[in-house]
């Protein structure tokens, strides 16, 4: 454990000026590409959530800046002294969802309250009408559709997605109920920077087809006495990346899948916020054998 390599050193994706934590409303100005034939300097001002299309990713993400960042976030106060290292910059997070987005909401609230030293700067979804996307619209968080399909022609290709996330200066990607396989282009662009949460104790009850209520039904049918939540780094396959953190819950004798799901979800919300907090404070290290560990904030010689 003496050999440490801070995770933050593995991601250097800064390509544009930092975007401050969004105020009550986010106002974005998109400047056309410098290759435009027009000599006038035009700009489009959005007062509604920005939906990043395939065209806008290519043509308009040349420059992105906040034009109104003076409002305060209610009574929220961010105090750098709350963190172990006050020199660590606030991290920019992209969250991926396919459903209601309850973990996404927990992470976003933790950022707003100052628990996590980061900001959710963009939401990626494959379902424009899902609950997580609706929450993002209400909170003025920009949206990206992935992948591009006949039903969602404005969805981005993997290469366009990488370009868009880099323009948002994303440091880490958090999957929170995103049901599509992550493109290899994204994994290569963000090595050891993509996390996922799964509603079982991996490697049990994971892999393709194991998601949502299917997982909890399988756990109960197996007779397992314990289940829980697992946060792991993402690789090219479903649920096979290195495990970072787990939380255990009992499986009761008369549990239904819905009851077990609710018990696991409560732990997911807490665990994902704790891991996001550690990630933003650069407390993730890698053991010599490739196992990631979380360094205790109180005692740097203790791990989880």
List C-alpha distances in Å: 136 to 50, 95, 130, 143: 10, 10, 10, 7
Q: Say if CB 11 and CB 172 are below 8 A apart.
A: yes
108 catalytic residue (yes or no): no
Element (H, E) at 57: helix 54-59
Helix (H, G, I), strand (E, B) or coil at 97: strand
The angle subtended at Cα 108 by Cα 105 and Cα 113, nearest 5°, is 120
Q: Say if CB 92 and CB 66 are below 8 A apart.
A: no
Question: Active-site residue among 108, 198, 216, 232?
Answer: 198
Torsion-angle region of 105 (φ positive above 0: left; ψ -120 to 50: alpha; else: beta): alpha
Return the bridge partners of 227, or none.
Answer: 249
- C-alpha neighbours within 13 Å on the C-beta side of residue 265: 20
Give the CA-trace dihedral at 276, 96, 269, 223, to 10 degrees. Answer: -120
Active site residues: 198
């Amino acid at each position: 454990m003496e050999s440490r390599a801070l995770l933050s050193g593995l991601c250097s994706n800064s390509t544009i000026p930092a975007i401050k934590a969004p105020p009550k409303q986010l106002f974005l100005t998109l400047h056309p590409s410098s290759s435009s034939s027009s000599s006038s300097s035009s700009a489009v001002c959005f007062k509604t959530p920005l939906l990043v299309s395939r065209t806008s990713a290519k043509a308009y993400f040349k420059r992105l800046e906040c034009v109104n960042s003076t409002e305060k976030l209610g009574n929220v106060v961010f105090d750098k002294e709350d963190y172990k290292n006050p020199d660590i910059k606030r991290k920019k997070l992209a969250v991926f969802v396919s459903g209601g987005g309850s973990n996404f909401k927990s992470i976003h609230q933790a950022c707003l309250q100052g628990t996590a030293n980061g900001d959710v700067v963009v939401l990626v979804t494959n379902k424009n009408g899902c609950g997580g996307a609706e929450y993002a619209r209400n909170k003025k968080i920009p949206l990206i559709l992935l992948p591009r399909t006949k039903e969602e022609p404005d969805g981005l290709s993997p290469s366009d997605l990488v370009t868009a996330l880099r323009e948002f200066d994303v440091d880490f990607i958090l999957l929170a109920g995103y049901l599509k396989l992550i493109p290899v282009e994204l994994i290569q662009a963000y090595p050891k920077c993509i996390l996922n949460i799964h509603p079982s104790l991996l490697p049990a009850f994971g892999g393709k087809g194991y998601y949502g209520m299917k997982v909890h039904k399988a756990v109960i049918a197996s007779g397992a006495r314990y289940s829980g939540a697992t946060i792991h780094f993402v690789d090219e396959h479903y649920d096979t990346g290195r495990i970072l953190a787990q939380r255990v819950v009992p499986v009761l004798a008369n549990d239904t899948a819905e009851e077990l799901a609710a018990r696991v979800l409560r732990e997911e919300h807490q665990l994902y916020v704790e891991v996001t907090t550690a990630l933003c404070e650069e407390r993730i290290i890698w053991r010599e054998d490739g196992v990631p560990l979380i360094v205790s904030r109180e005692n740097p010689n203790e791990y989880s």
